[in-house]
Amino acid sequence: MGGRVWFIGAGPGSPDLLTVRGARLIGEADVVIWARSLVHGDVLEYASSRAEIVESTTIPLEGVRHLYERAVDEDLKVARVHSGDPSLYGAVMEQIELCEEIGLDWEIVPGVSSLGAAAAAIGRELTVPEISQSVILTRRASRTPMPEGEEISSFARHGTTMAIFLSAAKPRALQQELMEGGYAPETPCAVVYRASWPDEEVIECRLAELADRVREAGFTRQALILVGPGLGAGGTRSHLYSPEFSHMFRRAKPAEEGADAAT
Ligand SMILES: C[S@@+](CC[C@H](N)C(=O)[O-])C[C@H]1O[C@@H](n2cnc3c(N)ncnc32)[C@H](O)[C@@H]1O
């Protein structure tokens, strides 16, 4: 008796953004559980021909429980494939608790989040020196309420880059909350729909136009919304590659060769 489940991040969509480790473990699994609505079907090409494939969209946690109990009894390897990275809105904790309860070993295999795929789609770094060195990952309340103090408007007060998941369905309320929190109407925004999928679409606009543009495009789900002054910034330079900046692997040039101030 034993078995093990791997919670594998399948990446944002494109099947070649699955990690090498994830692909190997899917190939070794006796049972592969995946969600058709969130994960590209081609990840199943890594599965062995003898593997049992289970589509999870329609099965609640109780159905999964049955599969995990079988894994314990029959010593099965289970690959549970999640979209993006399992650590973000992945509903992994309830499964881990279930595994602990029934004595099934488990392990998380990280994946490429839609956060990285969305930043790649707009061709931007999300942390821009001297403009924004922090990224807040959050969402609007829906059927899942937000804990107190985690409202969009309170995070907006920081004025840094925000990445907003699961929130395209009510863009007008989102825009209002972001502005109430203090972002200026001209703050740059990007909305990336289905990043890395063949039908990926990108909107780049000012915050004042966000709701109209999202409505016009008809995005209600599978869209990541990025907002913050860093998205429009240019002309800044990181210390890491600056000639005046020493670090573990490189000494700074003497002052006369570089610019005046090394900070
Ligand atoms: C349940 S969460 C899962 C997030 C996932 N664990 C991740 O790391 O990207 C689903 C939300 O993630 C975002 N998302 C997931 N895949 C996406 C993609 N390919 N393009 C844009 N946003 C995506 C959307 O905000 C969507 O509403």
Q: What is the pLDDT of residue 245?
A: 56
Considering the domain architecture, whether residues 143 and 86 belong to the same structural domain is answered as no
> What total number of domains does the chain contain?
2
Could you list the residue range(s) of the whole structural domain that residue 207 is in? 115-232
Residue nearest to atom 3 of ligand 1 (CA): 89
Contact indicator for 32, 53 with CB cutoff of 8 Å: yes
CB of 14 within 6 A of ligand 1: the answer is no
Q: What is the pLDDT of residue 248?
A: 61
CB of 116 within 6 A of ligand 1: the answer is no
Considering the domain architecture, whether residues 66 and 104 belong to the same structural domain is answered as yes
Within the chain, strands assigned E span 4-9, 31-34, 52-55, 77-82, 105-109, 135-139, 161-165, 188-193, 201-206, 223-227
Mean residue pLDDT across the chain: 90
Contact indicator for 162, 113 with CB cutoff of 8 Å: no
Q: What is the pLDDT of residue 255?
A: 53
Dist. CA 186 → ligand 1 center (Å): 26
Considering the domain architecture, whether residues 28 and 105 belong to the same structural domain is answered as yes
Model confidence at 229: pLDDT above 50:
yes
Measured in degrees and rounded to the nearest 5, phi and psi for residue 99 equal: -60, -45
Dist. CA 239 → ligand 1 center (Å): 32
Return the ligand 1 atom nearest residue 13 CA. Answer: 19
d(CA 74, CA 3): 7
CB of 88 within 6 A of ligand 1: the answer is yes
Residue nearest to atom 1 of ligand 1 (CA): 89
Per cent of the chain over pLDDT 70 is 88
Q: What is the pLDDT of residue 59?
A: 80
Write the CATH number for 224. 3.30.950.10
Q: What is the pTM of this model?
A: 0.89
Q: Within a domain: residue 176?
A: yes
Q: Within a domain: residue 240?
A: no
Q: Which two tokens stand for residue 48?
A: 């062995």
CB of 85 within 6 A of ligand 1: the answer is yes
Q: pLDDT (tens digit, 9 = 90+) per residue, 77-133?
A: 999 999 999 999 999 999 999 999 999 999 999 999 999 999 999 999 999 988 999
